[in-house]
Structure 1
Amino acid sequence: MLPPVLIISISIVAIEVVVGFIGNGFITTVNIINWIKSKKISSADMILIFLSTSRFILQVTVLMHIHSLYFADVLKLESVYKDFGAVWMFVNHASLWFSTWLYVLYCVKIIKVTHWLLLKIKHRIAGMIPWLLLGSLVISSMTSLPLLWITPSTYLCSSTGNCRENSTVHITNWDSSYLYLLVLYFVGCFFPLVLSVVTSALIITSLWKHRKTMQCYTDSFRDAMIDVHLTAIKSIISFLILYISSFVAQILLILSTSESKDVVKVAISLVVAGAYPSMHSIILIIVNSKLKLAFRNFYLLCFIK
């Protein structure tokens, strides 16, 4: 029987998953429809399709695990356990890389550069995006497939909050599988995290400087542009907070499986880790004018017809 606090946290995560299903499914559908209609796709929309699809699959794995906690024990099977762990790690790392490339693209388009190499990247970034996405899939495979050869333990269940009696949450000494899991997770997340922080900081700095420049003008256009810049800055800061807090929460979950019995910490970490892929999809819809308009039209069609 799961502790009450863990049941509450898993229920919250289930709600986050449903929100993520709706948000990421909406982003994927809108961009694919626009792609089919226009027969062309921008680099940003291509990244959004990959990002929202990977997050949709990621949340399917989370939902499957929640189902196993309440209704089934299929993930106790060694073969299923390994496959499930590899899929979860793969889509998790891939989605982090995709979100990173989205902000790298924004950074390259927004900031002013003078160095010849940066100018070359700025002009060729659109053609580089498909290769960057493909490279992300390759790197994510390299940091997830090794899970198939790790001696099975309940690393996955425990790291997502399974505190059943046979769970290794009761083990107080490090096990090699935990160390491998921690290393693979850290390696797969560290580099996109650093890139995201650097590019986001550059974008915020550039937008803030532009905002200061716009304050010299006195008209309604200036006020509108300042509002746009403030919205963009707030969305990027929100992204960084969600990204970093999710990274820390996942690390705490892995550590909790091997050296702690603090169920409250596990429960909080579960909710924090589950918030990132869901809430960031909502942020993307709010700040993207095309997605925002599509959502408004969908809402009017369904609820105010």
Structure 2
Amino acid sequence: MSSVDVIALDCIILVEIFGGLLINGFITTIKILDWWECQKMKPLDKLFLGLGLSRFLTMCLYVFNIINRFFSLNVYQIKVLNWTLNTICLFLDFSSLWFSMWLSVLYYVKVAIFKSNILIRIKLRLSELVPYMILSSIFISLVSGFLFAYNFSSDLDIMIPYSNMDHNQSEEPYLEFAIPSYIFGHFIPFIIVSISTFFLIQTILVHMRHISSNASSLTPPRMNAHHAAIHSVMLLELMTVLNLVVSVLHRFDVSDTYNNASLFLFVIAYPVFHSLVLIAGNAKLRKAAMRFLCQVKECRK
């Protein structure tokens, strides 16, 4: 790549990182303020808080990594710091995917009408089950990140693929811990998100057909909200698929076939735009965002 292309990519990455800080910091702040005012949080709000906080801290790590490179601090050459930073980075990445997965599952459970007594009981006890969902997500993410980072001896820069390792080190130990780590961190959340997304869209379509069949010719049904929900869910699923593909290419491109900086650009884009779509699809966050934008316009005036 030419120097101009490298500078352009770096500028886009910087914009994405600070955009991610703003968007996910906004989600975290709104949910903390709601909790402060009401002294309690709904199940979805708890997951939104975990998602926003994990992604915000991930962006903070990227900022730290930029500072590390700019000032040549070489923190990754210190074994303890290298292991700690990459454990934290993997933990935050995996936990954000698990929180996103549980959000997808909860949206489906809230919309779906169940006939099974077991599923009905689960739906009624969501507020009790969410803390266990959060704890299980934290535990799985932490263990997956810890096992991989602890058993990998090369310097691990969180903004380059782990496959760009010391050539004196065999790829076998790398894959031995990287593949199980990403199975629990990426693949399982992806599979569950895809399944819940399929059933959620199916449930919305059934509801739309039910409304259309019961509507009279004088009052045609309004389907705008349903269409918007389907579009949002499909967009989220598309971004989840692309994120999985890009993450695999970024982490496991042992032969260096693809440009690392370009892949990393798409890696950062996922937590930025995914959170943006979640804000647009959540009534409370959307209203808070509109109030914030109005205040910004007033300040400009």
Distance 1:130 1:262, change over 3 A: same
Q: CA RMSD in A?
A: 2.6
Q: Note the 1:126-275 alignment, pairs <5 A.
A: 126-154=127-155, 156-157=156-157, 160-161=159-160, 168=165, 174=171, 176-216=173-213, 217=215, 222-223=221-222, 226-256=223-253, 259-264=254-259, 266-275=260-269
Q: Distance in 1 between matches of 2:71 and 2:270?
A: 26
> Which one-letter code corresponds to 2:60 in the other structure?
V
Percent identity between the aligned chains? 25
1:25/1:56 contact within 8 Å kept: yes
> What amino acid sits opposite 1:95 in the alignment?
S
Q: Partner amino acid for 1:301?
A: Q
Superposed CA deviations along residues 155-214 of structure 1, whole A, max 9, x for unmatched, are: x32x73379xxx638789725235422331233222111111111111111112222333
Contact 2:154–2:166, Cα closer than 8 Å, also in 1: no
Q: TM-score, normalised by structure 1?
A: 0.87
Deviations, residues 31-70 of structure 1 (Å, cap 9, x unaligned): 2112221222211111111110011111112222233334
Equivalent pairs, count = 295
CA distance in 1, matches of 2:150, 2:170: 21
Give the structure, 1 or 2, with the largest relative contact order (CA under 8 Å, sep 6 or more). Answer: 1
Cα deviation digits, residues 133-158 of structure 1 (max 9, x gap)? 0111111111111134314213x32x
**Does the 8 Å contact 1:17/1:62 carry over to 2?**
yes
Q: 1:219 to 1:67 in 2, by over 3 A?
A: farther
Q: Is 1:286–2:280 an aligned residue pair? A: yes
Return the alpha-carbon distance in structure 2 between the equivalents of residues 219 and 39 of structure 1: 46
For 1:31 and 1:268, locate their aligned partners in 2 and report how far apart those are by CA, in whole Å: 33
Could you say if the C-alpha distance between residues 253 and 2 of structure 1 is closer, same or farther in structure 2, counting changes exceeding 3 Å? farther
- CA change 1:145–1:169 in 2 (3 A) is closer
Residue 76 to residue 37, structure 1, CA distance change in 2 (3 Å): same
Q: Distance in 1 between matches of 2:42 and 2:218?
A: 32
Matched, 1:78 2:72: no
User: Which one is further off, 99-108 or 68-77?
Assistant: 68-77
SS of the equivalent of 1:143 reads helix
Deviates more, 1:21-30 or 1:65-74: 65-74
Task: Quote the Cα distance in structure 2 between the aligned partners of 1:151 and 1:105.
Answer: 36
Do the aligned partners of 1:242 and 1:275 also contact (CA within 8 Å) in 2? no
C-alpha separation in 2, matches of 1:74 and 1:237? 41
Partner of 2:291: 297
Residues 98-117 of structure 1 aligned to structure 2 (within 5 Å): 98-117=99-118
Structure 1 residues 10 and 220, CA, compared in 2 at 3 Å: closer, same or farther? farther
Unaligned runs of 5+ in 1: none
Unaligned stretches of 5+ in structure 2?
Answer: none
TM-score, scaled to structure 2: 0.88
- Quickly say closer, same or farther: Cα 1:63–1:179, change in 2 above 3 A: farther
Task: Report the CA distance between 1:107 and its aligned residue.
Answer: 0.8
Against the structure 1 CA distance between its residues 260 and 2, is the aligned structure 2 distance closer, same or farther, given a 3 Å change threshold?
farther
Distance 1:300 1:233 in 2: 28
| CA distance in structure 2 between the aligned counterparts of 1:47 and 1:303, rounded to whole angstroms | 31
Could you say if the C-alpha distance between residues 20 and 63 of structure 1 is closer, same or farther in structure 2, counting changes exceeding 3 Å?
Answer: same
